[in-house]
């Protein structure tokens, strides 16, 4: 059985050669305190790494959150793999190795950080964001139709626009760095509008899922049973929202785009992003 120290060490592979220990640290620090970041050097070059590295967190839950949000995500334009490192892997890297020898065989790296495993048939949708009118990246979200089918169906329909209205061309109107980004007001664009496919508002479905990590997708509201179309994506753990806002999905690809949007926010002026950010396209992810 792994001890706690080993559970905190992650093996990150598929890295672009432009990635440095500093940029790797910046990509993973939102999930918790980091003890060390290591990029083993390429023995055949004095200034290159080998395309993989190690990130050690202080807390096991933070390491799980990093796996949940960064595995199969993009960094510097390349899809990276994030898994638990085998015990002692960082000290046992030879000139020739197989990646499989450096990662843990534990299946729980695929778990959804404190929630139940995602249903394999859950739909995935995408939001394409533009900054000042320029397309800037896609975020893919898994909708937990297995837990909150009514809420998931609302969001999916607003992504496709199948009811004649939806998210396309609407604004990201609120950004609070370290907390969340909020969007979905396609009627007024300032956080006072929006509507659901069921009418102006619909009731809270349930609170089975928690705001357990960055990248959770949750309904914005104006109090109990006031869900419409507005939603937010968390930028950190936000447990004080549990039982008050309905979590209905999570980011499965494009967390780097979410972080890019976060960087355009100002805690002192959350309703005034530094640049105009819109959802320029949205829809269903095919072949899911």
Whether 174 is catalytic: yes
Tokens linked to 270: 């959350």
Catalytic one among 241, 250, 253, 264?
A: 241
Whether 154 is catalytic: no
CA 187 to CA 197: how far, in whole Å? 13
Tokens linked to 94: 């030879």
Catalytic one among 50, 174, 211, 250?
A: 174
Whether 54 is catalytic: no
Residues in the chain: 288
Whether 221 is catalytic: yes
Catalytic one among 31, 179, 231, 248?
A: 179
Helix axes 60-70, 21-28, angle to 10 degrees: 100
B/e letters for 236-254, b = 16+ CB within 10 Å, e = fewer, are bbbeebeeebbbbbbbbbb
Catalytic one among 78, 138, 165, 221?
A: 221
Catalytic one among 126, 186, 232, 248?
A: 232
Contact 112, 250 (CB under 8 A): yes
| Cβ-proximal residues to 14 (8 Å cutoff; 6+ apart), any chain | 51, 52, 78, 79, 80, 81
Whether 245 is catalytic: yes
Catalytic one among 8, 171, 173, 245?
A: 245
Nearest to 148 by CA among 202, 206, 203: 206
Catalytic one among 112, 182, 227, 230?
A: 182
List residues with catalytic annotation.
174, 179, 182, 221, 232, 241, 245
């Amino acid at each position: 059985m792994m001890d706690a120290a080993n559970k905190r060490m992650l093996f990150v592979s598929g890295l672009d050669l432009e990635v440095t220990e500093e940029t790797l640290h910046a990509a993973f620090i939102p999930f918790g305190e980091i003890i060390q970041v290591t990029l083993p050097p390429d023995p055949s070059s004095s200034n290159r790494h080998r395309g993989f590295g190690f990130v050690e967190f202080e807390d096991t839950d933070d390491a799980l959150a990093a796996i949940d949000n960064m595995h199969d995500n993009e960094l510097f334009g390349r899809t990276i793999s994030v898994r638990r490192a085998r015990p002692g892997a960082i000290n046992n890297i030879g000139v020739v190795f197989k990646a499989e020898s450096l990662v843990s065989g534990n299946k729980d790296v695929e778990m959804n950080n404190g929630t139940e495993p995602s249903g394999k048939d859950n739909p995935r949708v995408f939001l394409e964001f533009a900054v000042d009118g320029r397309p800037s990246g896609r975020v893919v979200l898994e909708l937990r139709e297995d837990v909150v089918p009514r809420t998931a169906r609302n969001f999916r329909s607003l992504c496709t626009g199948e009811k004649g209205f939806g998210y396309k061309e609407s604004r990201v109107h609120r950004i609070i760095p370290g907390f969340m980004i909020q969007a979905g007001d396609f009627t007024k664009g300032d956080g006072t509008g929006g509507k659901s496919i069921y009418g102006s508002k619909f009731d809270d479905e349930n609170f089975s899922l928690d705001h357990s990590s960055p990248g959770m997708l949750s309904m914005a509201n104006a109090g109990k049973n006031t869900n419409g179309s507005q939603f937010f994506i968390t930028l950190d753990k936000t447990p004080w929202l549990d039982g008050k806002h309905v979590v209905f999905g999570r980011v499965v690809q494009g967390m780097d785009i979410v972080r890019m949007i976060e960087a355009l926010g100002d805690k002192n002026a959350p309703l005034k992003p530094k640049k105009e950010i819109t959802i320029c396209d949205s829809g269903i992810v095919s072949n899911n």
